[in-house]
Amino acid sequence: MAESSSSGLTFKLHPLVMVNISDHYSRVKSQMNPPIAAHTNGSSDAVETAPSSSSSASSPRVFGCVIGVQRGRTVEIFNSFELLYDPETHSLERAFLEKKQELYKKVFPNFYILGWYSTGSDAQESDMTIHKALMDINESPVYVLLNPVINPAQKDLPITIYESELHVIDGVPQLIFVSSSYTIETVEAERISVDHVAHLKPSDGGSAATQLAAHLTGIHSAIKMLNSRIRVLHHYLLAMQKGEIPCENSLLRQVSSLLRRLPAVESGKFQDDFLMEYNDTLLITYLAVLTNCSSTMNELVDKFNTAYDRHSRRGGGGRTTFF
């Protein structure tokens, strides 16, 4: 069992990291053949329902890097990306790691590789090999471990953050994993995303739909039902007009009462409100198109200025920037 860290570092973990690891594990697990035991209560693929020996043996392990920033004694883990793992050598593909690091550096210049992540119930001896291999990138990398097995008695998140410390064991200095405490840190965009995921509901074909989609589906079903009922009344009145069925005045009075409610949508107030909503929708669509065109034009101007600037330097002329 890992000891507690004494480094004094404060770790802040963002929900995006947990979502990424869970998604990575779910995708890898769904591709396994044969599939692992079925899930209960509609839970996500990122957790297993039975900690049996056969299931544990076939559970995949996924690997990746965590990125973020360190300000003094505070380490904030913002994001993560996947890595390729060689099970024979217990190492990560370094070329792939360096390529991903370069790509993320272009998008997030302030983020640095803080360590790596994996899945499992506990840290293994082979994990130290990967941990040591990353020390040339970060002198003291962190190890984020997600446990995909459900434990109903556990109330905390199945996430453990490990640091490495040099301890003398039987007279021999060795690096060991020590667990560290952490807190969950969120920003507004992450809170919206997590709330969006939390309200996902199953829909047709087993796909997921948001509350808005469920609301629109309900409205569509109601309109479809209204249309079918009006068709029934229309066919009934036609059959009565042709003499195919006997005329019943009580039913005609009920139909007349229902039909009087329909012309209410033809009032002047309805037309004004409808046109206002229609014009607002067109205006929003128009603004969206203008924004998209402006963004495309801005990218074109940036590329043109960059290309012209390089041409000017090769030609020896002065720099001229258009737009």
Range of the domain at 233: 203-266
Beta strands in 156-303 (DSSP E): 159-169, 172-180, 182-184, 201-202, 208-209
- Do 248 and 130 share a structural domain? no
- Do 146 and 48 share a structural domain? yes
pLDDT score of 290: 92
- Do 184 and 91 share a structural domain? yes
Q: What gap in Å lies between CA 15 and CA 94, rounded to an integer?
A: 27
Q: What is the pLDDT of residues 163-181, one digit of tens each?
A: 888 887 887 888 888 888 8
- Do 165 and 16 share a structural domain? yes
Q: Look at residues 138, 170, 198 and tell me which one is the last residue of a structural domain.
A: 198
Residues 6 or more apart whose Cβ sits within 8 Å of residue 60: 25, 28, 29, 32, 119
Nearest Cα residue to 93 out of 140, 133, 136, 139: 133
Q: What is the pLDDT of residues 285-304, one digit of tens each?
A: 899 899 989 989 998 998 88
- Do 167 and 240 share a structural domain? no
pLDDT score of 243: 85
Nearest Cα residue to 17 out of 125, 120, 143: 143
- Do 81 and 59 share a structural domain? yes
- Do 260 and 179 share a structural domain? no
Residue for token digits 């960059």?
306
- Do 258 and 238 share a structural domain? yes
Torsion of the alpha carbons at 45, 78, 93 and 84, rounded to the nearest 10:
10
pTM for the whole structure: 0.53
- Do 141 and 115 share a structural domain? yes
The ranges of the chain with pLDDT < 70 are 1-6, 33-58, 196-212, 262-266, 310-323
- Using DSSP's 3-state secondary structure scheme, residue 212 falls into helix
Count of the separate structural domains present in the chain:
3
How many H helices and E strands in the chain? 8, 13
- Do 322 and 237 share a structural domain? no
- Using DSSP's 3-state secondary structure scheme, residue 157 falls into coil
